[in-house]
Amino acid sequence: MRAQRQQRRWWLAGYLGLAVWLAAALPAMAASLYRIDQRYGRIVFSVSSLGLFTTEGRFPSFVGEFLLDVDQPERSHIDVNIDADAVEMPLQEQADLLRSDAYFDTAHHPTEHFVSTSIEALSPEHYVIHGMLTIRGIAQPQDLDAILQDQHLDKDRRLEVADFVVTGRIKRSAFGMVADRIMISDTVTLDIRIHLTMSGQPDGH
């Protein structure tokens, strides 16, 4: 009798352990790992010059992953690396200036990095991404606003894809870029369009 009660306790403990494991694992299975397809995306930034006109530049080279969990957005995570040395401007001298040590200092810091710390869902299609942005080796908290514009199955490639529009504002002085402050605004506006392609279910999330 004692052996039966002991066996029942072990069985109940095992069942509860399995239930706890499933409760932790099943939500994670809803998350999809996407890779940023830069062929269809862009990272554009703009600044005001003398308060009279706006100058735009862009980063054509970037890579990253987005762990997107639509059911539990707080479990989502994004990690992006940007090639600062590949910056493009309307004029070559403008691009060269941004690569100089007064701005991005690409000789010492060729890569910019953004990684999320948390993601807040305002609606099923609207998110606030809280994270850390690193430029010139300086990391600062940065919030980005993200709108999910489309999510569908690409029938030709048999892959799930998603399109986001991400916007934000940064202070260049927070990253040590204080040159030409009389002529160029301290506020930099970001307009990011990213096309995501699902790469499969992640392990360990």
What kind of architecture, by CATH, is found in domain 31-200?
Answer: Beta Barrel (2.40)
In this structure, what DSSP letter does residue 11 have?
A: H
Considering only CA atoms, which of 173, 183, 182 is closest in space to residue 55? Answer: 183
Per-residue pLDDT at 76: 87
User: What average pLDDT does range 6-13 have in this prediction?
Assistant: 39
For the entire predicted model, the pTM comes to: 0.78
Measured distance CA(76)–CA(31) in Å, rounded: 7
Give the range among 23-27, 117-121, 127-131, 140-144 with minimum mean pLDDT.
23-27
Per-domain boundaries in the chain: 1-30, 31-200
